[in-house]
Structure 1
Amino acid sequence: MSKTDRRNYLIGLLPGDGIGRDVVPEACKAVEAAADRFDFSVSWKKFPYGAEHYLKTGEVLPDEALEEMGKCHALLQGAIGDPRVSPGILERGILLKTRFYFDQYVNLRPTLSFPGVPSPLKGGDCVDIAVVRENTEDLYIGLGAASSDGVRMEIGMKRPSYELRGFLNLSVDPVMDMAAQIALATKLGVSRITRYACALARQRGEKEIVLATKSNAVKELYGFWEGIAQEVVSEEGLYLKLINVDALCYQLVKDPSRFGVILCPNLFGDIVSDLLAGIAGGLGLCASANIGDGLSMFEPVHGSAPEIAGTGRANPLAAILSASLMLEHLGEQQASGAVKGAVYMYLRDSSSCELPIELGGSKTTSQVGDAVRSMIEEM
């Protein structure tokens, strides 16, 4: 293949805040090493949006930036959030806005056991679980209000796949402070995320999907979920197992080896995936993908940890594994496997002192990134 015939990918970079700015460059190292190894090229387009940009300009994420992102093949993102900015401004204005604008309805959060990473579970069971989280509905749609004399709000929400309109008028007697938040589930939303979970289960050689639910307490919302998911799973020739989310958390701690693909509404998926991160050894190893039919976005699950930003203490492996998910999504299966395999070999072959600081070692963020890059180059 000539140089002019090489596959080239334009990747948008949104390093974000705190340690996002530390770990995203290490993920880029891994991607570039894999590109050289498997004969494709990558160009980067950096976007400045995050706390620093907001504090300087008052701008969160303009629509023009989303249009520019849409020209990329994928988006690699760091953590968003900063204590100098009120909670929700950046998270809703960047993370959720991006997910909703590009209709990234899948939040894929795989959890794996890695060698050399201790689990808090007594038995040390191996974990290989994929949480498939619905990413655009439930309580995360951003429609709610708080008031001292009732809640009255006009509802207007436009998404690429549908538009929601209406009016909410609530009062309480006697008058007191109150708040209301709207949770939404649509047949479209539940059906498409369930079909994705089915496809993933087949890819993994599994015949069962577990649905995290709570219809015994929230009948209308999660009963609706159960009915549509059961219909889709039956059409796909698989088996659906319903488990209340509280019982699921208990069972995951007792014996995670029983589980494979877990399908979750938005809120439950956020919680269950963090529980699994703790079981597998820490957020510093947990990758995620926000996938839609257009631009998809890849990011580590962990937060921005501003207290250690710039100190070299951040673990870049979750960002590197997120880059592996990105390469897989782009169709670069060998490159994706090489990045993931390099992380595995690094953790397997390193002495305790050669591990990231988060895992009890002494290696800095950039040293860990360099080690993984070297392993990709030497494969």
Structure 2
Amino acid sequence: MSKTYRIACIPGDGIGPEVTRQARKALDVAANRFGFSLDWQDYPFGAAHYLRTGEIFPESALEEMGGCDALLLGAIGDPRVKPGELERGILLTLRFRFDQYVNLRPALSFPRVPLPVPLPEGRRLDTVVVRENTEDLYMGLGGRAEGGSLSFSVDARRAPYELKGELALWTTPPCPLAAQVAVSTRPGVERIARYACELAVRRGEDRVTLVTKANAVPHLYGFFEDETARVAAQYPGLKLEKENVDACCYHLVRRPDAFGVLLCPNLFGDIVSDLLAGLSGGMGMAAGGNIGDGLSMFEPVHGSAPDIAGTGRANPLAAILSGELLLRHLGEHEAADAVGGAVTAYLEESDPEGLPFELGGTSPVERSGDEVASRIAG
């Protein structure tokens, strides 16, 4: 009997529904070819739903999604809604509720996709950022004060622990101030370091590069270094290398293919992964996954692009490649290989006009999705 996976889907805002439709098409074709099925569970959350109902993300939907095998997300964000309102209410809610502690961001070079920094002959870009996704400055701990005195409570929950406390700060003489607290814990660092090491082993590599800044921020990132070194020592034959984040960015723009697995604290991973997206051909080719031990979420990282929504100019390849990550997460590796191979074949075989607008062609989003799906079918 074939296996059925329940997949939650939030198409979201802007071009989200357009690119998600093409990703679903590709995944359904792959599922049919390799003998399993996808039971799509659709959810309406995003700007239109919020403006119509005032509801961002009800608890009942979170409970339902917890029973799914994965989540495909299109894009979140709309100029009619205050910046951050939907992103915090949907994206961060999902990441923290389901403890998606890995943000996975592959950066690959593809045929016919121009790179801003050309690679040496015979070389290709195949780097992956493993970003810690639940700690560091992104825990939302902080505040602002106009009168020189600031205090706030700390109350954060992650799967391995609860963090509680009080912080009080003041200036003499009084002046406006702001504070944002960054936290790293042994359980938090240990699990992301282990994920990075195991990924490097699966990729057949002999090193993991930790992106750090312990020379300037010794308590926070020195701790991250120490805990990562303790984990990496458990993997014989795997070397842990360290690069300060500024030096790492410098090396990337000179030799984008210089690294394999990059392990990053949350803040640095956010920055470095977008740099690599630019170096590998643009956001329209950038897939992403938010992975944990429960529900994991897969999404293109290009945002909702409301300026081109409805024009047919959206590039669906990042969404389709995010679907490839989703299939790999489910353990359907043959199907995932077929999806990734179909994207490569489409780019290799199409005439220039047949490529997405972002890549210099004139292919509407639907046609690009059809081209990929036909190659998955075989």
Q: TM-score, normalised by structure 2?
A: 0.97
Cα deviation 1:272-300 (Å, max 9, x = unaligned): 01111111111101111111111111001
Task: Give SS of 2:224's match.
Answer: helix
Structure 1 equivalent of residue 272 of structure 2: 272
User: For residue 204 of structure 1, what is the amino acid of its counterpart?
Assistant: R
- 1:173 positional shift: 2.3
Structure 2 equivalent of residue 142 of structure 1: 140
Cα deviation 1:144-185 (Å, max 9, x = unaligned): 211212321111112222111011111122322221111110
Task: Give SS of 1:256's match.
Answer: coil
CA distance in 2, matches of 1:81, 1:60: 12
User: For residue 81 of structure 1, what is the amino acid of its counterpart?
Assistant: G
**What CA RMSD, in Å, does the superposition of the two structures yield over aligned residues?**
1.0
Moved more, 65-74 or 52-61: 52-61
* Pair 1:131 & 2:137 matched: no
* Pair 1:296 & 2:292 matched: no
CA distance in 1, matches of 2:290, 2:308: 26
CA distance in 2, matches of 1:119, 1:25: 27
User: For residue 169 of structure 1, what is the amino acid of its counterpart?
Assistant: A
CA distance in 1, matches of 2:52, 2:144: 29
Residues 228-243 of structure 1 aligned to structure 2 (within 5 Å): 228-237=227-236, 238-243=238-243
User: For residue 41 of structure 1, what is the amino acid of its counterpart?
Assistant: S
CA distance in 2, matches of 1:45, 1:14: 9
Structure 2 equivalent of residue 21 of structure 1: 17
Q: How many residues align?
A: 374
Residues 256-267 of structure 1 aligned to structure 2 (within 5 Å): 256-267=256-267
CA distance in 1, matches of 2:235, 2:119: 35
User: For residue 325 of structure 2, what is the amino acid of its counterpart?
Assistant: L
CA distance in 2, matches of 1:166, 1:89: 26
- 1:30 positional shift: 0.2
* Pair 1:90 & 2:103 matched: no
Structure 1 equivalent of residue 96 of structure 2: 100
* Pair 1:213 & 2:212 matched: yes
Residues 154-233 of structure 1 aligned to structure 2 (within 5 Å): 154-233=153-232
Higher relative strand content: 2
CA distance in 1, matches of 2:264, 2:364: 35
Structure 1 equivalent of residue 46 of structure 2: 50
- 1:65 positional shift: 1.1
User: For residue 80 of structure 1, what is the amino acid of its counterpart?
Assistant: I
Are the equivalent residues in 1 in contact too, given 2:7–2:68 (CA < 8 A)?
Answer: yes
Task: Give SS of 2:341's match.
Answer: helix
Indicate which of 33, 40, 53 corresponds to 1:37: 33
Structure 2 equivalent of residue 8 of structure 1: 4
CA distance in 1, matches of 2:181, 2:19: 35
User: For residue 31 of structure 1, what is the amino acid of its counterpart?
Assistant: L
CA distance in 2, matches of 1:141, 1:90: 17
User: For residue 82 of structure 1, what is the amino acid of its counterpart?
Assistant: D
Task: Give SS of 1:308's match.
Answer: coil
Task: Give SS of 1:140's match.
Answer: strand
CA distance in 2, matches of 1:163, 1:317: 39
User: For residue 45 of structure 1, what is the amino acid of its counterpart?
Assistant: Q
Cα deviation 1:168-226 (Å, max 9, x = unaligned): 11112232222111111000010000000011000111111000001111111000000
Are the equivalent residues in 1 in contact too, given 2:119–2:257 (CA < 8 A)?
Answer: no
User: For residue 88 of structure 2, what is the amino acid of its counterpart?
Assistant: R
* Pair 1:75 & 2:74 matched: no
Cα deviation 1:241-264 (Å, max 9, x = unaligned): 111001000001111222100000
Stretches of structure 1 that go unaligned for 5 or more consecutive residues are: none
- 1:102 positional shift: 0.6
CA distance in 2, matches of 1:50, 1:142: 22
Structure 1 equivalent of residue 318 of structure 2: 318
Are the equivalent residues in 1 in contact too, given 2:145–2:176 (CA < 8 A)?
Answer: yes
Percent of residue pairs bearing the same amino acid type: 58
Q: TM-score, normalised by structure 1?
A: 0.97
Cα deviation 1:41-100 (Å, max 9, x = unaligned): 111111111111111222111221111101111000011111221122111111111011
- 1:307 positional shift: 0.9
Q: Which runs of 4+ in 1 moved over 6 A?
A: none
CA distance in 2, matches of 1:99, 1:257: 29
